[in-house]
Structure 1
Amino acid sequence: MKSFFSSMYSSMNYKIRIIRKGFPTYIAIIWFLSSVDSSVMYETRIIREGFITYCTFIWSFSCMYSFMCYKITVSGKRFATNFTVK
């Protein structure tokens, strides 16, 4: 059984999931904070599952000129953080 409650604003979205797996039932709360503009994209999620709270994030900075193009992405999930430059 999965139940979803969500709300969308201009820059914030959150979901509340009630998940039933066998006997234990826990609530997962996910907050989204995201923005997309010409050069910066970020998305941050704060997730609460049972007694565990963790944060996932993706930040991307990009710039494109006639002679140069780059994109820097920093992402993390639970205990791992990745850094990529393209």
Structure 2
Amino acid sequence: MEQTLAVDTDQVYERIVTGVAALEGVDPTELPPLFEAVDPDALAAIFADTESGRPRTGHVGFTYATHRITVEFGDTDQPTVTID
């Protein structure tokens, strides 16, 4: 099952954990810490605006709690989180 979430940049890490918890049918506190898969601060910083103020584009993927997570920034100013 795949779930795609549009999220605010500052809350990407929270949306990943709550999205995986929803797919698993568990409380988010029952999942392993996200920092064991990715540095949440680095994840937020990857897509921060450039020094010129222009938004970045691209994607990053990693595995968390046996799910493939993809965070993508494209044509909009909001990242999209996909959980497989």
Relative to the length of structure 2, the TM-score reads 0.33
Q: Which one has more relative contact order, counting CA pairs under 8 Å at least 6 apart?
A: 2
Task: Kindly indicate which of the two structures has a greater share of residues assigned to strand.
Answer: 1
Largest Rg, 1 or 2: 1
Task: Kindly indicate which of the two structures has a greater share of residues assigned to helix.
Answer: 2
